[in-house]
Amino acid sequence: MAESSSSRTVIVAVIANLGIAVAKIVAALLTGSASMWAEAAHSVADTGNEILLFIGLRKSARGPDSERPFGYGQERYFWSFLAALGIFLVGGTLSIGEGVRSLLLPEPVESLWVGVGVLVVAFGFEAYSWQTARKQLKSDAAEQQRSMREHLARASDPSATTVFMEDTAALIGLGIAMAALLLHAGTGWAAWDAIGSMLIGVLLIVVAFLLARRSKALLVEEAAPDDVVDPIRQQVGAADWVAEPTTVHAVYMGPSNLLVNIRLTPQRQDGPVGDLLAKVDQMHADLLADPSIAQVTITLTGQAGDGPDSR
């Protein structure tokens, strides 16, 4: 279900941004507005980035094999990182460069209402794409019992987060472009347009940094957040044969695909070691019943019959 929701969110964003990019390029040619060119670069970058996200979705869907025993889930993090670089390079730097060019070589605004019309239509398409991503994120956050803000910072699936952040930046950028275009036309001062273009570039660079930072954390196997690990720790500690201390570590090998490592000390037992190992096997099976857990390793420490053992 989560996979299909992510795919729908990304596909909606690709279609919306492709149409918007074409319209903005035509409007930029007609108006000569630097802010409009910045917005055109923004939409081209968004379209390319969402295609990268879709590639990541497709590649990450492959199951485990001999080369990737934990599956291909981290493909999604790699392609999301590339998308963040795309926002920075294509959207951010080109927008700032266009703003500098406009300051040095100012041009009058032509066909003003064409530009205004395109921005208004683009706002509608972007708002629909933004709402689609927000709906998925809100549903995912509710499942994890998180606020939207917490989920944006902790989500293991970067696809909807990337679309949401891109579309949020796009809506703000459209507002900046509209203000810059109208101020340029109303005052005749081309610097308004250049300032708008550079502000859009700075906005995109900030969004790119936030997205790249999250993708990097997932790629380098940052520990899963406490609200994911604590229920596992409680489940392990609730077993009557488990003594303290119990250590639980978990990392994401892909969206909602946890690799869990547990070190625990069993209660002293007088029965055969086989009974203890049977309990470990049962705990292993119970944990794997959770669809978000892909692999579990349980290591016994301290009093455990013949010494440490792993399952």
Please tell me the distance from the alpha carbon of residue 35 to that of residue 109, in angstroms, as a whole number.
Answer: 11
Question: For residue range 140-164, what is the model confidence (pLDDT) as tens digits?
Answer: 889 888 999 898 888 888 888 888 9
Angle at 32 between CA 31 and CA 38, to 5 degrees: 105
Question: For residue range 78-126, what is the model confidence (pLDDT) as tens digits?
Answer: 989 998 888 888 888 888 988 898 888 887 877 888 888 888 988 998 8
Q: What is the pLDDT of residue 58?
A: 87
Please tell me the distance from the alpha carbon of residue 224 to that of residue 216, in angstroms, as a whole number.
Answer: 14
pLDDT band per the 50, 70, 90 thresholds, residue 219: confident
Please tell me the distance from the alpha carbon of residue 209 to that of residue 86, in angstroms, as a whole number.
Answer: 11
Please tell me the distance from the alpha carbon of residue 244 to that of residue 247, in angstroms, as a whole number.
Answer: 9
Q: What is the pLDDT of residue 44?
A: 86
The pair of three-digit structure tokens given for residue 274, joined into one six-digit string: 């086989």
Angle at 91 between CA 93 and CA 180, to 5 degrees: 90
294 pLDDT higher than 80: yes
The pair of three-digit structure tokens given for residue 9, joined into one six-digit string: 């969110």
Strand pairing partners for 247?
Answer: 263
Strand pairing partners for 194?
Answer: none
Contact in structure between 233 and 246 (CB atoms under 8 Å): yes
Q: What is the pLDDT of residue 35?
A: 83
Q: What is the pLDDT of residue 110?
A: 78
pLDDT band per the 50, 70, 90 thresholds, residue 245: low
Question: For residue range 60-74, what is the model confidence (pLDDT) as tens digits?
Answer: 888 777 777 777 888
As a whole number, the mean pLDDT across the chain is 85
pLDDT band per the 50, 70, 90 thresholds, residue 283: very high
The answer to whether the bond into 245 is cis (omega within 30° of 0) is yes
Question: For residue range 177-200, what is the model confidence (pLDDT) as tens digits?
Answer: 899 889 988 888 888 988 988 998
Angle at 228 between CA 225 and CA 233, to 5 degrees: 110
Question: For residue range 15-29, what is the model confidence (pLDDT) as tens digits?
Answer: 888 888 888 888 888
* Average confidence (pLDDT) over 265-286: 84
| Segment of 33-37, 171-175, 254-258 carrying the highest mean pLDDT | 171-175
* DSSP annotation string for 111-166: SHHHHHHHHHHHHHHHHHHHHHHHHHHHHHHHHTT--HHHHHHH-S-HHHHHHHHH
Is 67 exposed, middle or buried, given 0-12, 13-18 or 19+ CB atoms closer than 10 A?
A: exposed
Question: For residue range 246-271, what is the model confidence (pLDDT) as tens digits?
Answer: 789 999 988 888 999 999 888 876 66
Q: What is the pLDDT of residue 217?
A: 87
Strands in 293-300's sheet, in edge-to-edge order, are 242-254, 257-266, 293-300, 309-310
310 pLDDT higher than 60: no
For the chain, which domains are there? 2-219 (1.20.1510.10), 226-310 (3.30.70.1350)
